[in-house]
Each structure stands twice: as C-alpha cells, then as structure tokens.
Chain A
Amino acid sequence: MRFAFPLAGVVLSLMGIAVAQDLSQPVPPKPMNWSFEGPFGTYDRGALQRGFQVYKEVCSACHSLNMVAFSDLAAPGGPGFSEAQAKVIAAGYKIPAEPNDRGEIFDANGNRLTRPGVLADHFPPPFANEQAARAANGGALPPDLSLIVKAREGGPDYVYSILTGFVKPPHGFKVQEGKYYNEHFAGRNISMPPPLNNGSVTFSDGTPSTIDNEARSIVTFLAWASEPNLEARHSIGLQVIAFLVLLCGLLFLSYRRIWHGGRQDAAARDRPGSTTEKH
C-alpha cells in the first residue's frame, strides 16, 4: 500500500537514515508495574490526587485535557475528591463566560468575560486554538492528554518513559535547535522541555517530590483520564466471568446428560438409533 502514499515513503526513508545512525531509534519503554494493571487492578487514589496536582501545576501550562469534566474528579473510580472539593477545584478555573444580558462576551477593555468553573465544565484548554498553541511552543503542538495513555504504543510505560527519558545525549548526537534529547521519543528529538524536576510540585500528602514520584503520579492520573471506567469494568467483568463459568458448567452437565445420560434418562433412551429406541 506504500505506493499509494509518497509521504509514507518519505517517512520510511527518514527511518532508513535513522537506522544507519542507530541513535535515532528510540529506546523501548521501561517496563513498569502499575496498580491498575491486571484483572483486579484499581487506581491508586493517592497517586491520582498527586497526579491531578502535577497536571494542574505543570502539564496544564501547555496541554489541554478537553474530555475530562470537573465532576469526574468526584466520580466513582476516580481521584476520590468529595463533591465539595471538586466544586472548589472547578471554581478555581476561569471559564469563558456565556453572553451576558446585553449579549456581550467582552468587557469595556476588550477582555474576554469569564466566570468561575462549575462541576459540569471541562478543564479549560491553555491556548485559544491550535495556532496559538504552536506559536507559544516553537511550532510544536502539545497534544491533548485526555486519551494520551491509550493513544501511544506502550501505554503508561511509554508516557512514564518519555517523562523520565531526558538524559544527557550520547557523545556525537546532535540535538536539533529548539529541541531536547529524549531517548524514548521517536527520533530522540522532542519539542517538550523536561517538564518534571525534583521539587516541581510540593505534594500535600508529604510524598517526596522526586521526578520518579511525580512521573508515576501523573501517569496514573492520565491513565485514569484515558480510561475513567476501568475500575467498573474490572469489577463488572469479574461478576460476568463468574456467571459465565457457572453457566458453562450447568450447560456442560446438561450436554453430558442429554448426549450420554444414563438409562434412567428418557431423552437418551429414546435417542434414535440407540439400541433402546422406542418404535
């Protein structure tokens, strides 16, 4: 199918050059253990709340989280904030206001009118539009984070690896101008500056704010943002599987009895072709 897409050919030939240099091939994501993996997995509440803090204080400067509403922060299976806490969090955000009684959305000075957020609002994006986002980020577009963990091969491991993958470039590797070296990113040149430092945030629960702790927290938070119903899915799944195992067992017994039942079994005795068939 490549022949249909000259662009894909260009990409592949670029990859070909990358192979020759070897260093442009990204290092595979670090395999991590996450509390939400496996059939019984749940999100670590503490990590979710810390991750929310990291998103709010660090990531949200550039990255939107369009699909997550403030009410989700208090929803079952989420970070576990109370409704009152979620309301306070929402009120801390300025949301572009709906037209007022006079039909205005700008004040006398030409500033956009805003109102405090409510539970039904979604996290407001940091930039008005794609062009504004690119202009502020050297031409690069910081992706929306609502689905980022599901939208990348490697999922949470990959996002964690990117956040902690800003190491010193190996000798001889030329980092492009305005980019940063990240060994887990395709091409190893990433537009995002290292977002996390020791002490980037001060966790209210006293967790030491190491890069590792910050990255684990934000990845947990983003995994939840990508899959907010994971806990419900896991627990309903358990009930469904248990029911089906029971159903399979009962059907198996019925199947055995009808096909290979003993003499007292009327159906088997009447089975056409059997020696005891009634005529």
Chain B
Amino acid sequence: MAGQSTYVPKTGFTRWLDARLPILRLVSDTLTTYPTPKNLNFWYTFGGILAFMLGVQIVTGIVLAMHYVPSADLAFQSVEQRIMREVNYGWLIRYIHANGASMFFLAVYIHIFRGLYYGSYKAPREVIWLLGVLIYILMMATAFFGYVLPWGQMSFWGATVITSLFSALDQVIPHLGSAITTWLWGDFAVGDATLNRFFSLHYLVPFIIAGVVALHIWALHVPGNNNPLGIDVKGPQDTVPFHPYYTVKDAFYLALFVLVYAAIVFYAPNFFGNPDNYIQANPLVTPTDIVPEWYLLPFYAMLRSVPQKLIGVLVLVASLATLVFVPWLDTSKTRSCRFRPIMKQLFWLFAADCVLLGYVGAQTADAAWHLGDITLPLVWLARLGTLYYFAFFWVLMPLIGWFERAKPLPESIAQPVLAKV
C-alpha cells in the first residue's frame, strides 16, 4: 500500500504467519495505521456505508435465493406467498433487500457527487474513478435484473422495455437489433428463459462488484484519500491513523444511515415501490405507465427526450460513457470546488439538473406544466436537462478549467486546521 508498512508482528504466531501470508499486515496497513487526511468530512463516510450496503445486499440476497423460485409460473407466488407470508421473517429480509437497493443507490449518488465536488477523480486518482464508474454500471445492471425477479407487472414490462432498446440497432443493420433482443430473451418474448438468466446474473454480478470494490479500495490506498481542500498530504502532521479516527467517525454516520434505512424498512417499506408490482406479470396487459425505479429516472428522461429511438439509446449510452472521460475533461489544476467559484455553481446546477431529469422521468411522456395560459411540455425540460448534462462535462469542464481563477489554496491540511484552534 502507500509508503512503507508499519506493521510489526508481536507474537510468535503472527511472526510465523507474516512470513507466509502477510494478511494481518494487509489488515493493519489498510484499516488501522492507514494514514488518512485529518480533514475528511461527513461526505467521506459514504464509502464505508457503501461497503456495508454491498454486504447487506449479498447476505439478504443469498437467504432470499434459498426460498425464491425462478420460474415464470411460480416466481410471483414464491415471493408474495412463500417469502412474504410463510418463511420466518421472510417479509423482513425481503423488505431489507428491496429497500437496500434504494439505500445503496442513495449512498452511491452521494459518493459520486462528493467525488465530483472535491475533484477526487483528478490525478493521481483517475483509476479509482474509472473503477467507480464500472461499479456504478454493474450496480445498475444488478438492480435491473433484481427488479425483474418478483415477476410483477413492472418487473415484466420494465424488462421488456429495457431489453427492447437493443432493437434500435435494427436501424443500423436490419434485423441485428431484433436478433440481439431475441438472444437476450432466450425466447421470442420476455418469459421463463429470460427470468432464469436474469436470476443467474443477479446472483453473479454482485460478486463481480465485490471484486471491483476491492480494486477500487486498493487503488485508493496507493495515492491515499483526497480531501475537502483537494491539496496533497504534506506529511504526518496532515494525517491521522484510520483507526480509531475514521473507524469511529464512519461507524457513527453508518449507524445514522442505518437508522434512516430501518425507518423505511419498518414503517414505509413500499415507499420506493410501485403498486403495479404487486400484480403478477401479465404479457397481455400493458400498465398505463411503465416507470423504472427512481435511481434510473434521470437516464429514462434523457432516453425519452429524443423522439428517435436509436439516437435516444445512443444518448443513454453516451450519458454513462461520458463519466469515463471526466478525469481528462477537467482541465483545472485545482481539485476542490471550495476554491473554484465558477465550477462550484456549475456543480450545483448539475446536481439540480439531475434531480430535474429524475422528476421528468417519473412523469408521463406527454406531461406538461401549465403556467397560466402557457403550456410547457416536460419533454422540453428533459431536452434542456439533457443538453446541460452533456454540456457540463464536455464543454464547461474543459473551458472553465482554463479561464477560471481559483482562490488561493492553503499551505497544508494542518495549517487551516491549526489556524482555527
């Protein structure tokens, strides 16, 4: 890891083990003595929260898989009757898992926006960011597969809509897209074969995520944490050992997070859900509104903002692919938005833009705002929002970096901290 290892085995056994498998050295260097900037704030606790949520989802998911039946005829019943009514505390495990997905995404969005605000993607941390983008995309895939499994109406029609996006490729090479869609379905429609493979993948991908998370943390521990000032650590006076300083801070905020999570699980377990998913999948009845889960709504809005299907799909793909280039699109030498007066405002505008896109994504396609006599179709808001989404990364990030005059940076992390005392 970063710098020299400070681990000293104290007993005969640990000396013996350290010479053969230095696993205690790894734990010590990454979780105990790991020098961490002393000024990390609340927003930096979400990394630990995310690791916890991945664990919760894997453990509850494994238990649910023991009772779940991946069959188009039995899936709905196995969830709504067996798990929710017959399995001991099955309802609790199911609600923890279903709401866990939402809490996981809530945490990951805060984590991503924190990275954007403090410039955590900039050199020398580009690989951490890239691995993070990969985790985010894998999470979206996992959540999508998982949402299909209860085999309710929204499960079925969501799966149909998303997999049908590939058929847009028919406009490039005739029949190519349809062939891919049929291949994905394993049939000529979403059905039993689709459900079985989605179950298989929903079980597999989280373990891939766990592997990429390990790389993400490994890559983090090489340059060490960024911090709210965005300046490099100058020496030991700028850092504290991870334990006990950040173990206790992370634990406190994790407990607060779990408090909110528990309040939802026990008192509003269907808050994030859609009533239609309590109706068994029926290929003959299309729901009046097909809406994805809240965490995919901004992308859904961008997709729908384009009247041409293929271009809509390309916009969707580009919106995610754009994230890969962020470390090189930002030309500023200053990392943290604290010292970037223009970028700071554009960042908040970007955050508001994502919320706006999410709002539009939740409305019907023909929804409109009526301001007096003026009618504003929401699709135009989505178009404006999509434009800003791309302009933020591809135009504003490179340009602002050149002409923005950053505020003076503090000498070191320790200096402003001591100055306050």
Which positions in A face B, CB cutoff 8 Å? 1-5, 7-8, 11-12, 15, 39, 66-67, 72, 143, 146-147, 150-153, 155, 226, 228-229, 233-234, 236-238, 240-241, 244-245, 247-248, 251-252, 254-255, 258-259, 267, 271-273
Contacts and interface: CB of A to CB of B under 8 A. Distances in A.
B32 to A, nearest CB: 13
Given A228-B85, A248-B252, A258-B245, A1 B266 contact: no
B271 to A, nearest CB: 12
Contacts of B77: 67
16 contacts: A1-B304, A2-B366, A4-B164, A8-B286, A67-B80, A146-B80, A150-B275, A229-B92, A233-B92, A234-B267, A237-B262, A241-B262, A251-B248, A255-B248, A272-B237, A272-B239
Give the interface SS of chain B, mostly helix, strand, loop or mixed: helix
Nearest to B289: A8
A242 to B, nearest CB: 10
A258 B85 contact: no
Contact of B236 (A5, A147, A272): A272
A150 B248 contact: no
Give the interface SS of chain A, mostly helix, strand, loop or mixed: helix
B275 A151 contact: yes
A111 to B, nearest CB: 28
Nearest to B86: A69
Nearest to A271: B240
Contact of B259 (A15, A66, A236, A245): A245
Nearest to A15: B288
Given A8-B290, A147-B80, A244-B259, A273 B237 contact: yes
B364 A251 contact: no
Contacts of B364: 12
A150 B269 CA distance: 11
Contacts of A143: 279
A273 B275 contact: no
Interface string B302-314: 0110010100000
Given A1-B365, A4-B161, A237-B262, A248 B255 contact: yes
Interface string B258-277: 11001101110110000110
Contact of A233 (B248, B266, B304): B266
Contacts of B252: 248, 251-252, 254-255
Contact of A5 (B265, B290, B300): B290
B111 interface: no
A273 B234 CA distance: 12
Interface residues of B, number: 52
Given A147-B278, A236-B92, A273-B237, 17 more contacts: A1-B300, A3-B307, A3-B309, A8-B290, A12-B288, A150-B270, A155-B275, A228-B85, A233-B91, A233-B269, A240-B266, A245-B259, A251-B252, A251-B255, A255-B248, A255-B252, A272-B239
A252 B237 CA distance: 25
A237 B240 contact: no
Contacts of A152: 275
A254 B255 CA distance: 13
Contacts of A234: 266-267
Given A5-B286, A146-B80, A248 B259 contact: yes
Contacts of B267: 39, 234, 237
B169 to A, nearest CB: 14
A114 B17 CA distance: 69
Among A8, A15, A267, chain B packs the most CB atoms within 10 A around the CB of A8
B23 interface: no
Interface string B326-337: 000000000000
A6 B333 CA distance: 51
9 closest cross-chain pairs (CB), A and B:
A237-B266, A151-B278, A273-B237, A251-B252, A2-B365, A147-B278, A244-B259, A150-B278, A255-B252
A15 B289 CA distance: 12
B232 interface: no
Contacts of A272: 38, 236-237, 239-241
Given A241-B262, A259-B245, A273-B236, A1 B275 contact: no
B85 A67 contact: yes
Nearest to B291: A1
Interface string B283-304: 0001010100000000010011
